[in-house]
Chain A
Amino acid sequence: MNEYNFAYLDEQTKRMIRRAILKALAVPGYQVPFASREMPMPYGWGTGGVQVSAATLTPDDTLKVIDQGADDTTNAVSIRKFFENTAGVATTEETAKATVIQTRHRIPEAKLTEDQILVYQVPIPEPLRFLEPRETETRKMHSLEEYGLMHVKLYEDISQHGAISTAYAYPVKVSGRYVMDPSPIPKFDNPKLEMDAIQLFGAGREQRIYALPPHTKVVSLDFEDYPFEPTKADHACDLCGAEDSYLDEVIMDDAGNRMFVCSDTDYCRTRRARGSQGRLSKEDEI
């Protein structure tokens, strides 16, 4: 613990990130450039989220880290251990006990409170990037509020597939101004973006930070005749029986048998501890 400055980063780096976070909160949905640092983990492992968390943590915090909803995957375990070692903060797997939650690609099922902060790891922060590769152009499009291209993209989804087939990283308009990429969360999670907690987004490789203050109006882009629909697999969780949670599909053998389980491991475990059962819960613990 004493070998590191609190939360790994040096103070000047944290000040730079903190200033970016304040401007990001003042202009919700706008991507603030910041001087992202090399972190002791590869790009794509959440270096943006780690830097935002490091600048946000205090010694009193309890940290939870999830990767696709799970607390026990390599990415989540590594980052949790990183902050245990460098910041000495308490960690937890229980959503309700955490004060700072760093997430990759999910919003927890349990409703977050105003005492919590949700930090997203973001791979590509620019929602227009796959439509327009030039940064100079996308920046101009944001400044002119020129988002027609995004609607054309959604329209092409409909003309090709009969529905808006974008299933994750579904674009949203923030507070009636900026179109924002909510990071690759499933569109099932989009309605939860209007929440009581502060949401911070960090993209390390792309060097951008953006934010959603609590209760900010977040609208998923759609059309009058093709309204936005949050979707999930049409099953109940096979372990806890939940019908309202986002599910992962797991192939179980070569015969094509499969099961569906909550992607949010803490939600599933909490439900099972209360006695909820699913289709396969009689079998051995998986």
Chain B
Amino acid sequence: MIVQNQFSGGFQNAPIEAAHAFRAAMTVMARPGEIRRIIGTHPPAPLSVVAGTLLLTLCDPDTSVFLAGEVDTNVVRQWLTFHTGAPLVTADQADFAIGTWQALMPLGQFRIGTPEYPDRSATLIVECDDLNQAGAMLTGPGIKGVARLSLPDIPMLQTNAALYPLGCDFFFTCGDKVAALPRSTQIKAEG
């Protein structure tokens, strides 16, 4: 085990590992409810492997990042700054936000895009204790019939979906597992 510092734990071979990580991220965003594994980085605690890899795959000096709650440590700040150069900002300016669901709330503080540019919205990377294909029923683009996914807060996510085509998009991360929930997905509580 290598000693974690801000310089270690990045991609060994960035073009290849980032390509694999993005393919998995794209696949889960295109197929809400599907769970994929992503590895490649060794981020400092409390970041999960998959959250750290997503950040290094998607963030750079052009994207602002909000660190919510207990992930907002000096070690994480230095690690992310060294590997991505992403400016760290407050929630209302963030392109990407990372943290637990409780730390990220309230959802209303994030950008949801504008009617002309709905893409200018935040992507939230939500660290979860558990991630599996059970619980809330999902329908919509990318889903054949119905998919199921364990979601942290169904009413809040239903409110987000009701903003469509505006709204935030989500990655749910747990260890090396990732799933996604775009704003286009309709959510029903388990019934």
Interface residues of A, Cβ cutoff 8 Å to B: 5-7, 11-12, 14-16, 18-28, 30, 32-33, 55-59, 114, 139-140, 142-144, 175, 177-178, 196, 198, 211-217
Q: How far is the CA of A43 from the CA of B123 in the complex (A)?
A: 32
Interface residues of B, Cβ cutoff 8 Å to A: 14-16, 18-20, 22-23, 25-27, 29-31, 57-60, 62-63, 95, 114-119, 121, 123, 140-144, 164-165, 169, 182-184
Contact of A214 with B29 in the complex, beta carbons under 8 Å: no
Which residue in A14, A20, A32, A215 is a CB contact (below 8 Å) of B141? A215
Contact of A56 with B23 in the complex, beta carbons under 8 Å: yes
8 contacts across the A-B interface (CB closer than 8 A):
A18-B57, A22-B58, A25-B26, A27-B118, A139-B116, A175-B184, A213-B141, A213-B182
Which residue in A18, A26, A211 is a CB contact (below 8 Å) of B169? A26
Q: How far is the CA of A77 from the CA of B19 in the complex (A)?
A: 24
Q: How far is the CA of A227 from the CA of B94 in the complex (A)?
A: 46
Contact of B30 with A25 in the complex, beta carbons under 8 Å: yes
Give B2 Cβ to nearest chain A Cβ, in Å: 23
Contacts of A198 in B (CB 8 A): 26-27, 30
Contact of A20 with B119 in the complex, beta carbons under 8 Å: yes
Looking at chain B's contact residues, the main secondary structure is: loop
Contact of B19 with A6 in the complex, beta carbons under 8 Å: yes
Contact of B169 with A22 in the complex, beta carbons under 8 Å: yes
Q: Which residue of B lies closest to A34 (CB)?
A: B119
Q: How far is the CA of A140 from the CA of B117 in the complex (A)?
A: 10
Contacts of B118 in A (CB 8 A): 27, 30
Contacts of A28 in B (CB 8 A): 141, 184
Q: Which residue of B lies closest to A144 (CB)?
A: B115
Q: How far is the CA of A114 from the CA of B34 in the complex (A)?
A: 12
Q: Which residue of B lies closest to A18 (CB)?
A: B22
Which residue in B29, B58, B144, B183 is a CB contact (below 8 Å) of A215? B144
Contact of A26 with B22 in the complex, beta carbons under 8 Å: no
Contacts of B30 in A (CB 8 A): 25, 198, 211, 213-214
Which residue in A11, A19, A26, A56 is a CB contact (below 8 Å) of B183? A26
Q: How far is the CA of A196 from the CA of B143 in the complex (A)?
A: 10
Contacts of B119 in A (CB 8 A): 20, 23-24, 27, 30, 32-33
